[in-house]
Amino acid sequence: MSGPGHSDLDRWLVPLFDQQLAPIEASIGSQGLEGYRQFRGLDDDLWALLLTREYEAYPAIRSFLPGLPRPELQQQWNGASGPALASQTVCFYRKLKEVQARYGRGDLAGSAVLDFGCGWGRLTRMVARDVEPGDLYGCDPVEDILEICRETGVPAELFRSDFLPERLPVERRFDLVFAFSVLTHVSEKAARASFEAIAERLEPGGLFAFTIRPISYLDVNPLMRPAAEELGDERTKALDGPAYLFVPHEAEDHPQYDGNEMAYGESVITIPWIRENWTDGFDLVDVSVMLGDFYQVAVTLRKR
């Protein structure tokens, strides 16, 4: 399925969910950002489906919700688009709501939230129904992708961050910072810099939720083969302990290439590495598998 107005979704939405969607359709056109609250009562998967905008039966809802980048860009950044991508995205979205409710400082509706490495706003827009207007932020080091967020109407305060941030260029302190599929792609130096910048902006008791690759990813992605081969016969022992494995991409025209070091690629980080390096001022409160997005493992740290 591709493109707005795909008739198959209308045949799902109207007979199954019109009782929930018709009142929203009738009132949403006259509302500003506060209109996102109307979607809070919907099932997570239905909400994710609405954000694809691939239906015609609810034009006011479609017009209210953010636009989408072209499918080719979604594929380039995420390897999927449309409902297929939404089915993956909703997994981490659910996890964010779960850890915030269980371990955080309060409900998302009363929290200041930052999407660190937001890209085109794939998760930012999903969290928008839960967070009050003015409390949702997104940052990314790629200005072009932030411009796509602005052009498509992602409802967040957006700012550009550095690839190796010394600090975040925003004075707001956050109750929740999340980084989906960010640390899975950066060097250890970049990960350490990002963590320090995030930690400085988190409130005490605030959460940092992020994803890492499972160790099995070494055997799934051919790009990780050099890292696996380098471990040799000591692989099992090495991966039982603190390890940060990183294989840079070769593209020297990538914005994260500074002429000497490529900070973007593929990474595998072990839980012992996180415990050894990031728990001086944090507690590791949750590690979770997401069956709908199997090679993204969700990790949550809470600031003391």
Q: What is the Cα–Cα distance from 119 to 146, expressed in whole angstroms?
A: 7
pTM: 0.94
What does the H/E/C string look like for 236-287?
HHHHHCCCEEEEECCCCCCCCECCCCECEEEEEECHHHHHHHHCCCEEEEEE
Query: Helix, strand, or coil here: 203?
Result: strand
User: Could you tell me how many residues make up the chain?
Assistant: 304
- Pick the closest to residue 164 from 276, 243, 261, 299 (CA basis): 261
% the chain with pLDDT above 70:
94
Helix spans in the chain (H): 7-27, 44-51, 59-64, 71-78, 82-103, 124-127, 143-152, 188-201, 225-231, 235-240, 271-278
Q: Find residue 289's DSSP bridge partners.
A: 297
Block residue for tokens 């239906």: 55
pLDDT tens digits along 17-31: 999 999 999 999 999
CB 275 within 8 A of CB 301: no
Residue 183 has pLDDT above 50, yes or no: yes
Say if residue 6's pLDDT is above 60. Answer: no
Model confidence at 2, pLDDT cuts 50, 70, 90, reads very low
DSSP code of residue 65 = S
| Average pLDDT of the residues in 33-56 | 97
Other beta carbons less than 10 A from residue 167's beta carbon: 13
Q: Which residues contact 175 (CB under 8 A, 6 or more apart)?
A: 100, 104, 105, 106, 111, 112, 113, 202, 203, 205, 206, 207
pLDDT tens, 59-81?
A: 999 999 999 988 888 888 887 87
112-121 pLDDT, tens digit per residue, is 999 999 999 9
> In sequence order, what are the residues at sequence separation of 6 or more whose Cβ sits closer than 8 angstroms to the Cβ of residue 260?
none
- Walk me through the domains of the chain, giving residue ranges and CATH numbers: 7-64 (no CATH), 88-303 (3.40.50.150)
- Tell me the per-residue pLDDT of 248-295, one tens digit each, with 9 for 90 and over: 988 665 655 555 677 899 999 999 999 999 999 999 999 999 999 999
Quote the pLDDT of residue 3. Answer: 43
